[in-house]
Structure 1
Amino acid sequence: MSETAILGGGCFWCTESVFQSLRGVASVEPGYSGGHVENPSYEQVCTKTTGHIEVVRVRFDPEVIDFETILQVFFATHDPTTLDRQGADVGPQYASAIFCQDERQKDIAQKVIAQFEAETGERVVTRLLGAERFWPAESYHRDYYLRNPNQGYCQAVISPKLAKFRKRYAALLAA
């Protein structure tokens, strides 16, 4: 049995690389969700006019890693307090968002957000949205960091994020 989480936490290259490392995660696929254009392209989404958010679809085994833990990793590996921005990546396509697949996921997301706000004293701007259509990204976005670890963005942004993540969540990493 598997469960699906659809998460927007800035550039999907970053988010994908984090979740690919977790034990219990069967697959991670970058894509787009939340917009009004059918089957959008990366170029269309980058115009900031389609309403889509860059997301990852994470399929995981809830017997190995539960949705709450997925969200704790999500909140620890992006900034959920900045509206439509992650570092130098700015625009509505970089929004922090959780596309809740059911009411249970929404309840868990609200709980994790409340915990984060209580621990940090900061207001979370992560959008809690319903289960909207997921459009897979173009194939060249898949496994981007794994295929391009020496690319500039990967070296400057993703590698440091992964190092911090691996140190904090070592017990959750796949072998």
Structure 2
Amino acid sequence: MVTIGFGGGCHWCTEAVFQPLEGVSEVRQGFIRSDGPDEAWSEAVEISFDPDRVSLRDLIAVHLSTHASEADHKMRGKYRSAVYSMTAEQQNACATHIRDLAAEAEVHFVTRSLMHRGFKPSDSRFHDYYKSNPERPFCRTYIAPKLAKLRARHSALLKKEYTTS
């Protein structure tokens, strides 16, 4: 298993996006920090995945397509758009994938490849937020559209039980 972090929007949303992916065995919702100037805690998830079942490039493609990865808005402190790597080698691979995906899509991503320098979990009552009650107004308004985008753009990456939801 390989560990990596993703941040970009609300960690409730990010958690729900990565849970249905084939090869992802665990999604931990919380806050991640990096080196300065990104040392402040920002909402994110850590995931454990099997690279033989889902590639790092595919995970990054999912991430870039399910949050505002092209927008540098005023909430970027709380919702930093980043991929958090555990090693320098992983960080370089992430930067290359982000650059390649941007060139293919002919867009500019604000998402950065950063080093993972700490994780703290969110309050446990918020874990599995979407799974626990998908009918909540927040889930219907913010998470469900991201999951619809995930199914439309990345259906081949979904665990079988999520392909018909």
TM-score band, normalised by shorter chain:
0.7 to 0.9
- CA distance in 2 between counterparts of 1:156 and 1:71 reads 24
Equivalent residue letter for 2:27? V
| Alpha-carbon distance in structure 1 between the residues aligned to 2:154 and 2:30 | 25
Written as runs of structure 1 = structure 2, the 5 A alignment for 1:1-175 is 2-34=1-33, 51-84=40-73, 90-175=75-160
Question: Secondary structure, in 3 states, of the residue corresponding to 1:75?
Answer: helix
Once the two structures are superposed, what CA deviation does each residue of 1:3-46 show, in whole Å capped at 9, x if it has no partner?
Answer: 0011102101111111100011100010111179xxxxxxxxxx
Deviates more, 1:146-155 or 1:108-117: 108-117
CA distance, structure 1, for counterparts of residue 65 and residue 90 of structure 2: 18
Scaled by the length of structure 1, the TM-score of the pair is 0.82
Q: Are the aligned partners of 1:98 and 1:129 in contact in 2 as well (CA < 8 Å)? A: yes
- C-alpha contact 1:35 1:53 (8 A) present in aligned 2: no
Structure 2, unaligned runs of 5 or more: 161-165
CA shift for structure 1 position 116: 2.7
Q: Is the 8 A contact 2:95 2:112 kept in 1?
A: no
Amino acid in structure 1 at the alignment position of 2:90: Q
Q: Secondary structure at the match of 1:94?
A: coil
CA contact (8 A) 1:67 1:105 kept: no
**Residue type of the alignment partner of 2:59:** I
Q: Distance in 2 between matches of 1:91 and 1:73?
A: 19
How many residues align? The count is 157
Aligned equivalents of 2:27 and 2:50: distance in 1? Answer: 12
Q: Distance in 2 between matches of 1:14 and 1:123?
A: 22
Let me know the Cα RMSD of the aligned residues.
1.9
Misfit runs of 4+, over 2 Å: 119-123
TM-score by length of 2: 0.87
Q: Distance in 2 between matches of 1:51 and 1:156?
A: 28
Shift of residue 84, structure 1, vs aligned partner:
4.8
Identity of aligned residues (%): 36
Q: Secondary structure, in 3 states, of the residue corresponding to 2:147?
A: helix
Q: Which residue of 1 aligns with 2:163?
A: none
